Structure 1
Amino acid sequence: MTAFSGTYVEAIRQALHDAMEADPRVCCLGEDIGVYGGAFRATEGLLERFGAARVIDTPISEQAIAGAAIGAALMGQRPVAEFQFMDFALLASDLIVNFAAKAHWRWGATVPTVFRGPSGAGNGGGPFHSQNPEGHFLGSPGLKVVAPGTVRDAYALLRAAIEDPDPVLFLEHKHLYRRLKDQWEEPPAARLGEAALRRDGARACVVTYGAAQHAALEALADLDVAVLDLRTLWPLDEEAVATLAKRTHRVLVLTEASLNYGPGAELAARIGETCFGWLDAPVMRLGAADTPVPASSPLEAAYLPGPAQIRAGLDRLLAW
């Protein structure tokens, strides 16, 4: 693969195609991923190119999908398991957390499996199809968690996740699937555990990931504020976070996940512990409201930390 021009979801499809072309051990399995091409068409055309032995339609059972993927990985394959919505990854959490993530620690086995699928709100999907479940999985030793927020990262981080020897939870924000477009002549590359500075600034920094970074960039277009995209939630690029926090002296942690006991709380705690002497204000957190995701569009907009809330938070932080 060389030149590419397309959307976020097309970059996912291209990454799967290129990985399967490069390595015959890579296979895909999930609900409706073959004949139908996936609920969001992320696997469209792969069945015709690689056949039913490598693009496998499964029953409607996340436990079965995860179990089959883990078994295939232990037998030498590199499976990519699609959950139709990442909300339902919780049904497979026992296998992911208590088996795949612990296999290396228990007996030294590698489980090179990617559990991928759409997450996030903004499409009116309601409380069962719009969650950001990363908080349920972070803190599970042995499991890596990735959340790409750009077209290039959707491609590059998925390729890196497939090549990684450990299990990876790969969160694709469905609100970005067809809203972002990019192009390149040569395929981009990235490593898990490396953050990316999306916008530099001196007065404060926003530490974020996924779709939330785009709301942040819109909110602070006229402010001298940096935006750091974590890209990988675990392993965390602690050096990049600390360097920016110490340079800007004010930090806003922004997530779309729940504010209470969510990933933003862990990030704020780490920044407070390691950068306290450099900060001119307490670390501020913004996250989703403490409710299920509403199906109503106006309520969903109020549930999410949008540009207006982000701008208000930054104004409070800068005035501290």
Structure 2
Amino acid sequence: MLTVSIAILLAGAVVAALTARQPRIAALVSMAALVIGCLAGFGAIMASTGTQGGAWEPAGTWSLPSARLSISLDALSAFFLLTVLCVCLLAGVYGETYIRRSDRLSQSKSVRPLFLLLTASLAAVVCAQNAILFLFAWELMALASFFLVIIEDENAEVRRAGFLYFACTHTATLALFVLFAILGQAAETLDFGGIRAVMPPGERQSAVLLLLGMIGFGMKAGIMPFHIWLQEAHPAAPSHVSALMSGVVIKVGIYGFLRLIWLLRSVPDFWAIVLILAGVVSGVGGVLFALAQHDLKRLLAYHSVENIGIIAL
């Protein structure tokens, strides 16, 4: 069911793109794919709750010459997948009305396919059990969200916000490439189960992994001081995309931190100190910056920073 869910969302994105010149058909296809794909995902989550002791079996596996790619659900993945699907479904339903009322978006041929692509990539990120698949889905998520942010690119401020987001999200991706390269070299595998089996790392290596994790996952989450894209991208994006970024995209950064801690099995105490300090700075700083805002989307962006700080604590 998990593979079916992601496949339906991806297929819906392709068909919505092919029928983009007929807005009514594209809207019907995208909404049907979103609803059916999310329902299939809910079914996969319900099925996973019956596994004993949190055990899980791969829901989909693909073999490559040098890697074995798989997606599956454990307790952590199931929780975040439920969040992803619920928020994406609600944002998609609202977004369809929003698109119809916007002269610019109603003429766009890419807004619906990109939304489905973003939903599918978010689901794949939280279900990936291999670093290659995780990074591929992460990059797909970054590109889909970038093109959604700049969908109204006739505005210079939107273009500026979009390219700032592009630079930040790819800095994060580069950090994650290095992080998983270090883990893969130590474990001699890129499968998450294999990496976890040979952990924990030494203290020096753990410090490097924390730095890379703070850049890679912290920037996506919007933790201060890596939040610089958030207050720019939120006002630039369409309302339903902005809601998706606040509700899900930045939370994927938190998922990444939790998954990294799961992979390492145990982490030094200084990890807790760093995360607590980052949480305090983000929580307090987010509130202070929010008090000075008059733009609603920018205000919500800073409150998102505040909420991420509270989660980090």
Compare the two structures and name the one with the higher strand fraction.
1
What is the TM-score when the length of structure 1 is the normalising length?
Answer: 0.31
Compare the two structures and name the one with the higher helix fraction.
2
